[in-house]
Structures are given as structure tokens and as C-alpha cells.
Amino acid sequence: MKKNQKVYGTGLLAERKIKFVLMYTIFIAFLFASWSISTAQSPLTKKIDTLAGEVEKKVIAWRRDIHEHPELGNREFRTSKLVAEHLENLGLDIKTGVAHTGVVGLLKGGKPGPVVALRADMDALPVTEQTGLPFASKVRTTYNGSEVGVMHACGHDCHTAMLMGVAEVLAGMKEELPGSVKFIFQPAEEGSPAGESGGAYLMIEEGVLENPKPDVIFGQHITTDYERGYIGYRPKGVMASVNTLKITVHGVQTHGAYPWKGVDPIVTASQIVLGLQTITSRQLDLTTAPAVVTIGMIQGGVRSNIIPDEVTMVGTIRTLDKGMRDTIHERIRRITENISESAGATADVTISGNLPVTYNDPELTAKMLPTLERVVGKDGLVLSQVHTGGEDFAYYADAIPGLFVFLGVRPEGTPPEESIPLHSPLLVVDEDALVYGVRALANMTVDYMSMEK
């Protein structure tokens, strides 16, 4: 009897093992099948890649043209005209003059489905170009009362040209699209001239996310952190919120030879600058998120032997956590007021601007990872570090689910330590990378539509 029980037990165990192996095999097969479906080249995917290859030379030509003729924020008249004529020739419904010089195009697909928004920024920077390229900018203009050179030192020429290419690709498969695409060409991402409003915030105020309302929005930014063939992504907070800080310290003017007869706002301001540095170095848990408090300008006094009445300081605050941002604002006020009081001075603290954290919707990010991997390969898709730079794409992603990725454009063979950063007058990009940006935006658009239809 014991022998029979042993045999029965062994047989039962073997049967369970077989069932477990069978179920595990089915599960793995299901996962593999799901992965294959998500990453396989569908007919639409193949068509995107074909059309992207055909438009690549145009994208590079547009980029060079825009680069040679850069325009500052709210003054992108030539660029917006180029974009509008292109979208109109593609048969899109367009609106011009949005937020001063913005252009919005709507492509209605041949099948019902969601609305996907794609955004590119068009403005250049007050930077004098030093690249020596055949199409280098020689433009000069007046910015906030000063004569400046103008250059696309942040890659917005690339962004605009790539989105023009995406519009041509998707318009070429209009009848097959299960949804609509809203193309947003935005002015003044780098900021508006003094006294003017602009950028993403004004575009939203003027209805860019309505009629129809997009379900999601995608955007991208070039980076020299990666070479061509790489795309960086990060779920949740990826770029910092931005606030502008202004502090005015009021003292009592006196002769520089008799400082005890007045209150020196220069010394007080110096102590405030040092005190502000302790916020991030000693008062915050930086394992939560990075943060930066920078004073970038100090103005006070007119000559060596006069202690002035007041000193003005201007700086920037960068955070990737809302609670931390509120804490920093509170500590800035406390430190400034207490140091000023201890010196017999007074101070006014103004914190302005409300650019939120650029936030990548985690669910949307996860859905698009197979798409991005298909564009650049498994090794080409990298988890990006957080950036303490700000991006006004944040306003769109604060209103609807968004995903903002980074396209590698560092010239091939250039070591990372020798890469030229954005906003440099020496910035050069690998133009062969631009087709990857076209493919990424077009594929994310079509894949999202196919998932949600």
C-alpha cells in the first residue's frame, strides 16, 4: 500500500509539474506574442519609414534655411510663413497668428480615432554664431534695447524642420490614419520680449488645445548628450519648474569713507547670496529631487566712494518637486528678511513665473517605449537623467497627458566630454539624426491612434 501511495504521489507531482511548465510556456508565448505585436513592422510603420526616408533631404534643407534666417520670440514672421505655406500645400486646415506668430495645422485622418498633438518651437536666441558653417546666421537685431546677434543655438530650427517633415509623412497616409493630428508650431519658447506675453501659455489661452481637444501631446528636443541614433526618455518629472527671483535690498546711502553713518546694502546683499546657497546645500533632502537657486545678476552703486541706497539681485529657482519648490520659496524669504534685519536694512522679495515641471505621463511613456525602441533599437533607447533646465512644453503636459523625449544629435565620433552644449555659439548638430526624430514622432502618433481606436 505504501508503495502504491508513493507511486501515486510521484505521478501527481509529475502531472503538476507538466501543467506548470505548460502554463508557463503559454504565458511566455503570450508575452512574446504581445511584444512581437507591439514592435513588429505593420504596414503603416513600413510606410512611415519609407516616407521619412523620402522627406529626409527636405528636412535638412528646411533646417538649414531656418538656421540661416533665425528670429527671436514673437518675431518669427518668416519662419511661420514658411511653415504655414507648407501645411497649406499639404491640404491641412491651418490657423496663423496664434500667440502672435504661432501656426496650428489640423490633419483629419480617413478613419475615426483620437486626436494627437505634436509640438515644435520656432524661436532662436540672442547669440552671435561662431560655427563658420556655410549656412551660419549673420542676422543681427535689437533685443530689449540692445543690438544682438541671433542664432538657433537651442535647436529649434531642427524641431521645426522635423515637424514639417512629420506633417508631410502623415499627410501622405491621411486616408489610413485612425484619428487626427494637430501640429503646433509655437513661438517664444525661450521667452517673450520685455512687456509681452507669449509661448505655450499664451497658445493655450488662445485655444490651441481646443476644437478639437487633443487626447495626448508629444514633443522632442535635440541634445548633444547623445550621438545620432539615440533617444532619451524619462517617466514623470524630466525637466525643472522655473521661477524668477528678484531681491531688492534697501540700505542708507553714505560716504564710502564713513560706512558707520549708513547701512551698506552691498555687504548685506553679499551675505544674502551666501545664505541662499545653504538652502540647497544644507536645508533640503536632495535625494528627493535636484534643486538649484542661482543669483545671476547683482546691480548696485555708481562709484567707488559712495555706499548706495539699494542693491538689486536677480536669479532663478529650479525644482523637480512641487513641495520642494514651495519650501525653497519660503526659505528664500526668511533668509533674505532675517539677514537684512540683522544689518539694519530691509528687503523686498519677488518670486515670479510659474513654469511647472515638465512631466511625462507614466502610462503614456510606458505605451510608447516599444515604439521608440523600434525606431532606434534596444541599445539606442536610454533612460535620461533629469534636467534642471526648463521647457514650456510643461504647460501642455500639465493640461493633457504628454511625453517629451530627447533626440541625440552629437556629431558622430565626438567624445561626450568634448560635446558642445545647447545655447553655445559653437553648437553644431549631426543632421543625419533628424530623420530619427521624424520617424519617432510619426510612429508614436500612429501607434497611439492604433492603440486607442
The pairing of strands 216-227 and 111-121 is: parallel
The phi, psi pair for 22, rounded to 5°, reads -65, -45
Q: In whole angstroms, what separates CA 177 from the centre of its chain?
A: 27
What residues are paired with 349 via a beta bridge? 247
Identify whether 189 is a catalytic site residue: yes
User: What letter would DSSP give residue 242?
Assistant: E
Which DSSP string corresponds to 177-227? Answer: -EEEEEEEEES-TT-PPTT---HHHHHHHTTTT-SSPPSEEEEEEEEEEEE
129 near 113, Cβ under 8 Å?
A: no
Percent of the chain that is helix, strand, coil (3-state, to 5): 45, 25, 30
Classified as helix, coil or strand, 42 is: coil
H helix or E strand, kind and range, residue 358: strand 358-360
**Cα 393 to Cα 98, 341, 376, distances in angstroms:** 16, 40, 23
The answer, yes or no, to whether the previous bond of 112 is cis (omega within 30 of 0) is no
Which is catalytic among the residues 123, 215, 264, 392?
123
Which is catalytic among the residues 76, 121, 129, 189?
189
Residues tagged active-site = 123, 189
